[in-house]
Each structure stands twice: as structure tokens, then as C-alpha cells.
Amino acid sequence: MTEHFDDNSDLEHDKSKSQVKKELLELTALGERLSKLSKQHWLDLPISNTLKHALNEVSKINHHTGLKRHIKYIGKLLRNEDVEAIEQQLILDNQQHTLEVQREKLCEHWRNRLLAEGDAATFELLQITSNLDRQQLRQLVRNASKEQQLNKPPKYQRELYRYLRDNAEFHDNHN
């Protein structure tokens, strides 16, 4: 009966080993993801200074084998980190990035509409953004339109985009 019990514990031990290996591979993959982020990005993550130092060293390694070994080391360091908190922060950062990209595209869209449609688009934009200065917006649109007609470099077009990006608080007033 004891032998039979030992056989079962070996099976549990094997399963445990494979589970540990799977987790180590996941941590190594997370370490590789972290190593590809910009320094500013991982400085804001909830990670230890030891891990930050290890991530900082990645940029100094230019040998493929050494880099692979260092990524495994980062994976090993991640065993002592709050991986769930790190992953949650990465998800949050990714969502924030997606929102920023959408906002930039919305500003580009409105700049293009303002240049193409003039006062009609200006009036519509002012209806959905309550915080823009009507006079300043119209002046920027006029300058950018004139610049576009004269085939000049897009100085005012960029200025119009920046004004929208920095000031427009888009509210969805559509049905």
C-alpha cells in the first residue's frame, strides 16, 4: 500500500514540476515583454529596484546568448514580484495608450474637417466641445486654410492640431 502511495506522490511531483516550468516560462515571457518597454514605462511599474536595475542592463547587452540568459534572470527575479499587479498596470497602460491614439485620430479628423468644410464644421465642433475659444479656433482655421491654398509648409495646420489636442474636451452629444 505504501508503494502505491509513493507512485501517486511521484505523479503529483511531476505535475508540480511541469506547472513550475510553465510558470517560469510565463515569467520569462513577461520579463522579455518588460525588457522591450521604454525605461520611462517600466519606471512607473510596481517593481523592485533590483528588477529595474536588471531591466536597465538589457540595453547594454548586445550578444544574443547573453541577452537570452539575462531575460531568464529577469524571469527569475519576477518570482519575487507581484506579477498580477505588474500585468494589471501593463493592461491599464495599454488601454491608456489606445485612448490616446483614438484621441489623436479624432483631433486629426476634426482638423481635416475644419480645413475642408470651414464654418459648418467649426460650428459643429463648437457644439460638441464646450471649452474651445470660438474666435481663436476660427483664426487658426483661417490661417491653416490660407496656408493650404498657397501650398506653404503646414505650420498653422500643425498649430490647429495642437490646439485641438491640448484643449478640446470631446463630449458625445450625438444620439
- Residues 122-131: tens digit of each pLDDT: 999 988 887 8
Q: Is 67 found in the same domain as 132?
A: no
141 in any annotated domain: yes
Q: Is 110 found in the same domain as 73?
A: no
Q: How far is 92 from 98, CA to CA, in rounded Å?
A: 10
Number of domains in the chain: 2
Helices (H) and strands (E) in the chain, counts: 8, 0
Q: How far is 78 from 9, CA to CA, in rounded Å?
A: 28
Q: Is 71 found in the same domain as 114?
A: no
- Tens digit of each residue's pLDDT (9 = 90 or more) over 2-45: 444 444 444 445 568 888 888 888 999 999 999 988 888 888 88
Q: Is 103 found in the same domain as 57?
A: no
DSSP code for 168: -
* pLDDT value for 173: 45
Q: How far is 126 from 72, CA to CA, in rounded Å?
A: 54
113 in any annotated domain: yes
Domain CATH number, residue 51: 1.10.60.30
The whole-angstrom distance between residue 145's C-alpha and the CA centroid of its chain comes to: 33
63 in any annotated domain: yes
Q: Is 60 found in the same domain as 106?
A: no
DSSP code for 45: S
Q: Is 42 found in the same domain as 103?
A: no
Q: How far is 20 from 17, CA to CA, in rounded Å?
A: 5
Domain range for residue 31?
2-81
Under 8 Å CB-to-CB from 57, ≥6 apart: which residues? 70
In one letter, which amino acid is 128? Answer: I
137 in any annotated domain: yes
